[in-house]
A and B are shown apart, each in its own frame.
Chain A
């Protein structure tokens, strides 16, 4: 464990020096993420001009929800996204070999090697908006419920990572350039919507099989409306189930990996 922490600190050091190599790009990327935040906030602000509630949430509740998914997005952009971007290239070019022969878990190495330094600035900005939305929320809340929310959002980030992995890992079999990552980004829209808008089979899809609703909407709902036993059990079962599926598909993928480039 200690070895992995030390290794991760090296990753951070390396990533920051690499990011500052391209300073203009560094600032462009910060501006890009800020624009993404503004667009998302504006989207719900415009919609709420035409209706008092969306899925039972008014303006300040919706901003808490938006703060939640922007925070999860920022965590993923900072910690995982660059690594996920490169993974299909490594698989297709046969460069995975270099990671398989190292004396550390290849999944750990490939998932966390690149820490996105510019997105870290955005993580701070997203956190500021997250806390701003919480302080603007008209109802009382306690430190313990905030702590619970943060834990659930970290769990949400891991769910996001797992689903993203499941969309990339088919590259082991298809040898396509990006796997189903474009499909993943489209599916990501489900994370940016309150889960109560989904009904019927769509609700089953987004809460169990592709659990995007568990990433930010469930945590926001637990914070805004209080936790209930069934929701917590649902979160634990789906999150752990998803993690086991990722590990299984990863192992199957490695078995299928020929090492030859394509």
Chain B
């Protein structure tokens, strides 16, 4: 058995350690976000007197906000934010001693969480289509496109997170930087409002950042709103951002190893 299988098994055990808590949080968070978002959009549709806004009906908007909370969890994983604490207390030393790459280890743990949330997303999507939509081969194809894009987006976000986390070698605590990255990602990624509602010039600017490719692109793929060439372009851009942040975080790692005292506080 290769080392990464042990890492995945250990992470799955962690995820399932508090099962009741995990499922209550999952079902609760998903339902609450849908109900709140649907209430808001019902009020907006009613006030505007329209049945379709920027290509969304109230039904497709509900599906959008079903995908958002689980997709966002899939994107951001849960195993990040510990590095600064490890540097602070000196347990970061273990990464210098492990007979495996720090980046590989962190990526595998991150993607294990993403895959688990991906499973939840698939269950929720199929459940929603069975109850309120239709479940044909097309929906399964869209679901697999969406999950694929979310996994690639998770990998990109993992690289962004690693880059930010490694700053803690110099800055002690970067929790707030991680939260800021999340705010930017969720707002400009379309987690709060679909990006088509943003003013045109702002949309053009946002497209030069990685954010729309992290959330909006996978959601649109899952909702069957993307053409094949848009998917290919989106995939290339996502991978491009992954390469950039992966290179940046490796540069930080190389420099950081010399700056790290190894003592802890």
Using CB atoms and an 8 Å cutoff, list the residues of chain A in contact with chain B.
22, 24-25, 28-29, 31-32, 35-36, 39, 42-43, 46-47, 49-55, 174, 176-177, 179-180, 182-183, 186-187, 189-190, 193-194, 196-199, 202
Q: Which B residues touch A32, using CB under 8 A?
A: 176-177, 179-180, 183
Q: Which B residues touch A182, using CB under 8 A?
A: 25, 29
Interface string of B170-192 (1 = CB under 8 A from A): 01111111011001100100001
Cα separation A174 to B20 with both chains bound (whole Å)? 9
Q: A29-B176, A50-B44 are in contact. Are A39 and B29 (CB under 8 A)?
A: no
| A39-B183, A46-B193, A174-B20 given; 19 more Cβ-contact pairs under 8 Å | A22-B173, A25-B171, A25-B173, A32-B176, A36-B183, A43-B187, A47-B197, A50-B54, A54-B43, A55-B43, A177-B18, A180-B24, A180-B25, A180-B28, A186-B28, A186-B33, A197-B40, A197-B42, A199-B39
Could you tell me the distance in whole angstroms from the C-beta of A202 to the nearest C-beta in chain B? 6
Cα separation A43 to B190 with both chains bound (whole Å)? 11
Q: Which A residues touch B204, using CB under 8 A?
A: none
Cα separation A67 to B264 with both chains bound (whole Å)? 41
Q: Which B residues touch A189, using CB under 8 A?
A: 32-33, 36
Which one of B43, B48, B53 has the highest number of Cβ atoms from chain A below 10 Å of its Cβ? B43
Q: Which A residues touch B198, using CB under 8 A?
A: 46
Could you tell me the distance in whole angstroms from the C-beta of B114 to the nearest C-beta in chain A? 17
Q: A51-B47, A193-B39 are in contact. Are A176 and B172 (CB under 8 A)?
A: no
B247 is an interface residue with CB less than 8 A from chain A: no
CB pair A24–B183 under 8 Å, yes or no, is no
B35 is an interface residue with CB less than 8 A from chain A: yes
Q: Which A residues touch B43, using CB under 8 A?
A: 54-55, 194, 196-197
Q: Which A residues touch B32, using CB under 8 A?
A: 183, 186-187, 189-190
Closest to A177 in B: B18
Q: Which A residues touch B197, using CB under 8 A?
A: 46-47, 49-50
Q: Which of B21, B28, B44, B175 contacts A54 (CB 8 A)?
A: B44
Cα separation A54 to B173 with both chains bound (whole Å)? 39
CB pair B35–A202 under 8 Å, yes or no, is yes
Cα separation A31 to B69 with both chains bound (whole Å)? 25
- 5 A-B interface contacts by CB (under 8 A): A24-B173, A52-B48, A174-B18, A186-B29, A197-B40
B199 is an interface residue with CB less than 8 A from chain A: yes
Closest to A39 in B: B187
Cα separation A213 to B32 with both chains bound (whole Å)? 14
Q: Which A residues touch B172, using CB under 8 A?
A: 22, 24-25
Q: Which chain B residues in 176-231 approach chain A with CB under 8 Å?
A: 176-177, 179-180, 183-184, 187, 192-193, 197-199
CB pair A183–B176 under 8 Å, yes or no, is no
Could you tell me the distance in whole angstroms from the C-beta of B26 to the nearest C-beta in chain A? 9
Cα separation A52 to B50 with both chains bound (whole Å)? 12
Q: A24-B171, A31-B180 are in contact. Are A49 and B199 (CB under 8 A)?
A: yes
Q: Which chain B residues in 86-139 approach chain A with CB under 8 Å?
A: none
Cα separation A39 to B125 with both chains bound (whole Å)? 28
Q: Which A residues touch B39, using CB under 8 A?
A: 193, 197-199, 202
Q: Which A residues touch B53, using CB under 8 A?
A: 50
Which one of B69, B172, B176, B179 has the highest number of Cβ atoms from chain A below 10 Å of its Cβ? B176
Q: Which A residues touch B18, using CB under 8 A?
A: 174, 176-177
Could you tell me the distance in whole angstroms from the C-beta of B202 to the nearest C-beta in chain A? 9
Closest to B178 in A: A32
Could you tell me the distance in whole angstroms from the C-beta of A76 to the nearest C-beta in chain B? 16
CB pair A47–B48 under 8 Å, yes or no, is no
CB pair B48–A31 under 8 Å, yes or no, is no
Interface string of B40-63 (1 = CB under 8 A from A): 101110011000011000000000
Query: Top 7 A-B pairs ranked by shortest CB distance?
Result: A28-B176, A32-B176, A25-B173, A51-B48, A197-B43, A176-B21, A186-B29
Could you tell me the distance in whole angstroms from the C-beta of A194 to the nearest C-beta in chain B? 8
Cα separation A24 to B184 with both chains bound (whole Å)? 20
Q: A29-B176, A174-B18 are in contact. Are A50 and B42 (CB under 8 A)?
A: no
Closest to A182 in B: B25
